[in-house]
Structure 1
Amino acid sequence: MSRIRVLVADDEPLMLAGIQAVLGSAPDLEIVAVAGDGAAAVAAAERVTVDVALLDVRMPLLGGLDAMAALRAARPGAAIVLLTSFGDEANVLRALRQGASGYVLKTCTPEELLRAVRAAHAGDAYLSPPVARQVIGLIGPSGAAGAQRRRAAGDRLAALSPREADVLRLVAEGLSNAGIGARLRMSEPSVKTYVSRVLTKLDCANRVQAALLYRESADQ
């Protein structure tokens, strides 16, 4: 079985060494590049094949959010997981809406970090629990802007078939393909096909974006 190729970027040498130690201990992961800033991370992605990029949000020259956009242009198939020590709500939403597959706090456990990388590679999403709570609280803004966002999201969801809408609802609840299959009495391959259709119809990069769109369409 081929290993998951991971690029790691963090401007703190001690943190970078710790991340390398954690990822290097996993037999299914391979660190293909390391970088101390966002610009170096993008340059590395242009040289080597990357499955998952783990980027610190705050780095010199090019921060993780800006590096994410450039890296996705260089490696469209790469999943992005952002790592931060800041509970920056604006950055969380910006990252997820731009297609990040995960957002993990630097206080996470080694097991949580590995889980986030593996989930991103599998096409799923992972948010540290405190981040997930922030996102749920931020979706569905009040006032005219919130109403406009909900209408726009609802218009996009109208393109889905009833079955696709059911699958999206469960994606938004955080269920895996196996969990969705069990709930809807579908095989995992069928669920995977439906999820792919949903992402294509909604023009979403990953499950996180689709889940955010679903939540934005709801009147919260």
Structure 2
Amino acid sequence: YSRTGEGMHRFVDPEDGEVYLYTQYEPADSRRVFAGFEQPDLKAPFRFEVRAPEGWTVWSNGAGELADGVWRFAETKPISTYITCVVAGPYHYVTDSYERVLADGSTLEIPLGAMCRKGLAPYFDADDIFLVTKQGLDFFHEHFDYPYPFGKYDQAFVPEYNLGAMENPGLVTFREEYIFRGKVTQASYEARANVILHEMAHMWFGDLVTM
């Protein structure tokens, strides 16, 4: 494990002793966890299996299921190594969903999720996060005319994070400072919304289409 925010980072909550893991690979740190070619234009489908302690939940880019003590995740579309991701631990997790009727008459359904460590649950305003997320999905579908291609859309607010956020498809990670523990200005909410939408734009530009 890493304590520097590179590769697979391990955090022990000093308040309750709970352990939280997450990965951060940009630009070239997936090699700390698995062998691969860290060149963004070299893509492959990934299918992860994770064995985790009882009581933990594990997330990755694809939808996951727990069976026989192992979390198994749906195979991704071809993506670069630096945007693969695993988040694991006793996170507080909230769900919602997004629906949109597409031009061909079919309905696109995207499961939404948002998470933080348990100690921050009283401050976690998931409703606002989901509101911005849905508004963003509406905006990008209207302007890009290409349906969101990565299935679910989870957003993890994680501790000791070096960046502002990271556009891992299906599992975006954010620094937990975007969970406001007291009254903040409207500018703070706008800044968080800007980051949420910035990462969402990368689902199309950067993740689906990579230079």
TM-score (norm 1): 0.29
Q: Which has the higher contact order (CA 8 A, sep 6+)?
A: 2
| The structure with more strand, counted as a fraction of residues | 2
The structure having more radius of gyration, on CA atoms, is: 1
